[in-house]
């Protein structure tokens, strides 16, 4: 096994070599469950989510929801690979036995990766998805941007209608696609499983690639926002100075005027010790357990801004006897998808898939503490990229609390605990991307019976920030308008501390109410570990 002790840049691996197979329970069993399904038990069905006939019923979003291959493969490229142009593409693997038994490769070999360009050779073949739309407009009524922006035509236009329009050679992508925040609420709302966000990602990527002026300030600003990891990595060299400089009034005014980054927003503080530095300094994993192993995808924000979330995750998982791996990793790509920077996203995805598939080969499942990161690894990667191992990464990825609820008796552990000490009340917001993974109720369900904890769900509205959407001056007011319902409900709730799994929703919650915001893993640590 390769042990990842990590480094501050996420690109260093060190450790010892010994071989372990995949956790015998993890590959053959169904993964995930819906909110209403029973929890796992100590019997063979650890996750407790298999159907009576043994058919997996994963909580993982359906990939390639139309029945045709989700990834566009140019005819000539497909034929070069030895298959007919329309041959269905099956799950790939990284030299590990696939959960579906579809493995046919032996070693993890980066040279064997066969990524393709989504652009410029052609488009994803989403005709079946487009044809599934029966114009019910459920997606339009669920769209938070359409609600506040009269010029935004809504997801039905951005999805199936635009997809058909751009089949015509002389038809440009409508610029309004850049106003879609990629919240993915329309995916969740569509009764016909039209792959709306896949269509939006493709159209936005194509617009940015082919129509957007690369020297425009808008493109430069969006590129900076999309590549947050790069800025955060630089800022973290001198974290105190960076935190001060970025929140210095004249600097914020200049960024607003020159780049279009709203002066109203407070920049998040940079941690003086990143998560990966902390991980390295403590000597990596404190628990060795080949039977319970997870690879932590911390994402950029937990590394550079809120390492306390990552530390809580490690302590909680080690408390339950897990060996935690922290593989080298880059950005999940979430802000890149939202800004149409698909080439950047694919570059990062290649690194992530390469390292995560190695951890999966070492018997780990992948967990993320950010619901947008888990969404990206589970759904957006395989919907947009064809990278060796990507389906296995998708199938092995979970949100961190979700995974514990599936595999551990969390209710029992919480019932035995003395609670968090002082009585605590929280105003909980479920991020849109959690909602899309069926996780909207998980924090409330986890803590509702815990002595000394009050957890109030503040409703199903969008926070309005949607990653980088609310970080654009021209969108700032709309972002706050979308968030208004959540702010009101937070203020009506008894709890004066907010809770959410998404770091940018946390920013918006804090910005709109002034509340301190916690991650559910932090409360779990306080309750079961402390």
Is position 417 an interface residue for ligand SF4 (rule: CB under 6 A)?
A: no
Altogether, the residues listed in the chain come to a count of 530
Q: Is 190 in the site for ligand SF4 (CB under 6 A)?
A: yes
Q: Is 479 in the site for ligand SF4 (CB under 6 A)?
A: no
**What's the closest the beta carbon of residue 352 comes to ligand SF4, in angstroms?**
22
Q: What's the CA gap between 330 and 308, in Å, rounded?
A: 19
Residue with tokens 């920013």: 507
Of the residues 2, 13, 57, 138, which one makes contact with ligand SF4 according to CB under 6 A: 138
Q: Which is nearer to ligand SF4, 401 or 482 (CB)?
A: 482
Cβ neighbours of residue 1 under 8 Å, at least 6 residues apart?
A: 15, 16, 17, 18, 19, 20, 290, 362, 363
Question: Looking at beta carbons only, is 432 or 493 nearer to ligand SF4?
Answer: 432
Nearest 5°: phi and psi at 192?
-110, 10
The closest of 398, 277, 308 to 5, measured between CA atoms, is: 277
Q: How far is the CB of 467 from ligand SF4 (least distance, A)?
A: 11
Q: Measuring CA to CA, how many Å separate 386 from each of 62, 78, 98, 382? A: 16, 12, 16, 7
Cα 43 → chain centroid: 31
Q: Does 145 bind ligand SF4 (CB under 6 A)?
A: yes
Whole-angstrom distance, CA of residue 419 vs CA of residue 356 = 35
With CB under 6 A, what is the number of residues at the site for ligand SF4? 29
Q: Which is nearer to ligand SF4, 164 or 347 (CB)?
A: 164
Q: Kindly state the smallest distance separating residue 152's Cβ from ligand SF4, in Å.
A: 7
Torsion angles phi and psi, residue 401, rounded to 5:
-70, -40
Residue 505 near ligand SF4 by CB under 6 A = no
Among the residue ranges 140-148, 246-254, 407-415, 440-448, the one whose residues contact ligand SF4 (CB under 6 A): 140-148
For residue 391, what are its two tokens? 């389906």
Q: Does 192 bind ligand SF4 (CB under 6 A)?
A: yes
Q: Residue 145 Cβ, how far from ligand SF4 at the closest point, in Å? A: 4
Site residues (CB under 6 A) for ligand SF4, limited to 98-137: 133-137
Name the minimum Å distance from CB 138 to ligand SF4: 4
Contact 505, 465 (CB under 8 A): yes
Cβ proximity to ligand SF4, 98 vs 158, nearer residue: 158
Site for ligand SF4 in 148-187 (CB under 6 A): 155-156, 158-160, 180-186
DSSP 112: G
Residue with Cβ nearer ligand SF4 (324 or 341): 341
Scanning the structure block, which residue is given the tokens 């569509």? 190
Q: Which two tokens stand for residue 388?
A: 């060796």
| Axis crossing angle, helix 400-407 with helix 307-319, rounded to the nearest 10 | 10
> Residue 23 Cβ, how far from ligand SF4 at the closest point, in Å?
35
Q: Using the rule CB under 6 A, is 63 a contact of ligand SF4?
A: no
Establish if 139 lies at the interface with ligand SF4 (CB under 6 A).
yes
- Whether 310 and 275 have beta carbons less than 8 Å apart is answered as yes
Least distance CB 123 / ligand SF4 (angstroms): 18
Does 81 help bind ligand SF4 (rule: CB under 6 A)?
A: no
Q: Cα–Cα distance between 212 and 205 in angstroms, integer?
A: 10
CA distance 496 to 448: 17
Binding site for ligand SF4 (CB under 6 A): 133-139, 142-143, 145, 155-156, 158-160, 180-186, 189-190, 192, 194, 196-197, 200
């Amino acid at each position: 096994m390769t042990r990842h002790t990590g480094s501050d840049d996420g690109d260093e691996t060190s450790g010892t070599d010994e071989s372990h197979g995949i956790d015998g329970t993890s590959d053959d069993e169904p993964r995930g469950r819906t909110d209403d399904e029973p929890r796992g038990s100590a019997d063979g069905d650890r996750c407790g989510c298999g159907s009576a006939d043994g058919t997996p019923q994963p909580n993982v979003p359906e990939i390639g929801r139309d029945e045709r291959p989700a990834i566009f493969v140019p005819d000539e490229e497909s034929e070069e690979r030895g298959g007919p142009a329309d041959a269905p593409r099956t799950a790939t693997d990284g030299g590990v036995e696939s959960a579906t038994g579809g493995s046919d490769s032996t070693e993890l070999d980066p040279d064997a990766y066969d990524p393709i360009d989504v652009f410029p050779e052609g488009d994803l073949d989403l005709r079946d998805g487009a044809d599934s739309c029966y114009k019910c407009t459920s997606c339009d009524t669920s769209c938070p941007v359409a609600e506040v922006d009269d010029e935004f035509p809504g997801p039905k236009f951005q999805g199936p209608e635009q997809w058909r329009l751009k089949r015509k050679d002389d038809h440009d992508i409508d610029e309004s696609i850049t106003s879609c925040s990629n919240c993915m609420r329309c995916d969740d709302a569509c009764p016909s499983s039209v792959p709306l966000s896949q269509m939006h990602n493709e159209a936005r990527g194509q617009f940015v690639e082919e129509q957007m002026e690369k020297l425009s300030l808008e493109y430069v600003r969006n590129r900076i926002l999309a590549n947050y990891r790069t800025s955060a990595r630089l800022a973290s060299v001198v974290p105190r100075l960076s935190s001060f400089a970025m929140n210095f009034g004249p600097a914020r005014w200049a960024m607003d005027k020159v780049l279009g980054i709203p002066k109203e927003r407070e920049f998040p503080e940079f941690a003086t010790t990143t998560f990966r530095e902390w991980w390295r300094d403590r000597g990596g994993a404190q628990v060795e357990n080949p039977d319970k192993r997870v690879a932590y995808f911390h994402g950029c924000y937990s590394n550079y801004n809120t390492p306390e979330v990552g530390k809580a995750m490690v302590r909680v998982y080690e408390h339950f006897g897990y060996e935690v791996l922290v593989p080298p990793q880059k950005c999940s790509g979430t802000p890149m998808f939202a800004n149409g920077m698909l080439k950047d996203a694919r570059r990062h995805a290649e690194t992530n898939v390469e390292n995560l598939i190695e951890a999966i080969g070492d018997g780990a499942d992948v967990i993320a503490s950010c619901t947008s990161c888990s969404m990206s690894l589970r759904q957006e990667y395989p919907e947009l990229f064809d990278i060796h191992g990507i389906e296995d990464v998708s199938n092995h990825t979970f949100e961190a609390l979700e995974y514990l609820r599936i595999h551990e008796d969390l209710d029992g552990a919480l019932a035995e605990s003395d609670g968090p000490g002082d009585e605590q009340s929280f105003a909980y917001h479920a991020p849109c991307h959690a909602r899309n993974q069926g996780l909207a109720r998980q924090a409330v369900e986890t803590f509702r019976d815990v002595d000394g904890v009050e957890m109030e769900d503040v409703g199903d509205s969008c926070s309005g920030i949607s990653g980088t959407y609310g970080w654009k001056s021209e969108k700032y007011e709309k972002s706050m308008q979308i968030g208004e319902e959540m702010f009101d409900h937070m203020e009506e709730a008894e709890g004066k501390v907010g809770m959410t799994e998404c770091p940018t929703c946390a920013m918006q919650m804090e910005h709109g109410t002034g509340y301190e915001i916690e991650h559910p893993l932090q409360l779990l640590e306080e309750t079961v570990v402390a």
